[in-house]
Amino acid sequence: MIVRKLRSPLHIALGESAEGCLRVACRTHGMPGTAFGIPDDLSHGPLDDGRARIGYMGERFRGYDDWYLDVTDAFAPWRAMIARLDEAGADAVVIWSGDNASEATFLAMACWWLRNRPERVLRVAMPGRDGRHYVAIHTPAELADLFVSARELTDTERAVLAADFLRIRGETGLLRRWEEGRILGVPMDRYDPLLLASCPPTWTPAPRVVGTAMSRCDGHNLMSDLFFSSRLQLLIDAGRIKADGSRDRLREYRVRLAAA
């Protein structure tokens, strides 16, 4: 198989958890190459400007926690990946992604960033587990076993995916969903009914309400606590949910549905 011919591929994945699992797979389970992660969640936020993306994420932190990121450009990790390829002499790039809003966007975005690169590009498609389709739900040993399923993308496939990233970037707005193999844009309030349905009429810790909403997302479109926290703040501002306590941090206040 083609993966047996690879000596020093660069494995790329979205998020620190997925990167960590791939790193262990390389160090401990015999998978060739090294791992590199893009620390982001591409299911929401602008994709056309790295600084604007950081600004958007900073706004989502209102009422979630103190802003802790020290970067000013969300695309800096992508440029670091290109620099890594220039320095390390990898013989291929292996993109790890599943059928979900964030990682499918990542696959297309990676092909766009790699559009002028000479390295071969392969993809490992994640099998579903309990209806979820994400890299980080698999153990390092499982990822090492999945490496043999890597398939090289043709030049045409790479070009199509890169072009689809331009569509996603320009057409989907600030919130994206995976729907039958395609990334579509949806209104920012798409998940508000789910969040409202997760909020009881009695005082409940805000993290519990957010966690309930997260657990009710479908396996192709899991949304983060940061996203739901930001929507919770807006629903409180709109008077649809009542808050008790300081709203500076998610863990510090309680919420309940407002009276009908």
pLDDT tens readout for residues 146-195: 999 999 999 999 999 999 999 999 999 999 999 999 999 999 999 999 99
| pLDDT-based confidence at residue 259 (cuts at 50, 70, 90) | confident
Residue 116 has pLDDT above 90, yes or no: yes
Query: Distance between CA 102 and CA 257 in Å, rounded?
Result: 30
C-alpha 213, offset from chain centre: 17
Identity of the residue numbered 25: A
| pLDDT-based confidence at residue 120 (cuts at 50, 70, 90) | very high
Query: Distance between CA 221 and CA 162 in Å, rounded?
Result: 22
Q: At what angle do helices 155-171 and 101-113 cross, to 10 degrees?
A: 120
pLDDT at residue 142, as a whole number: 97
pLDDT at residue 47, as a whole number: 98
Span 100-107, average pLDDT: 98
Residue 26 has pLDDT above 70, yes or no: yes
Which has the minimum average pLDDT: 88-92, 115-119, 232-236?
A: 88-92
pLDDT tens readout for residues 127-158: 988 889 999 999 999 999 999 999 999 999 99
| pLDDT-based confidence at residue 260 (cuts at 50, 70, 90) | low
| pLDDT-based confidence at residue 1 (cuts at 50, 70, 90) | very low
Instruction: Give whole-number Cα distances, 49 to 5, 73, 169, 240, in Å.
Output: 37, 8, 10, 33
Query: Distance between CA 109 and CA 43 in Å, rounded?
Result: 12
Indicate the DSSP class of residue 228. H
DSSP string, 53-99: HHHHHHHHTTTT-------S-TTHHHHHHHHHHHHH--SEEEEEE-S
How many other β-carbons are positioned within 10 Å of the β-carbon of residue 246?
Answer: 9
Q: Which residues pair with 132 in a beta bridge?
A: 129
Q: Could you tell me the pTM of the whole model?
A: 0.95
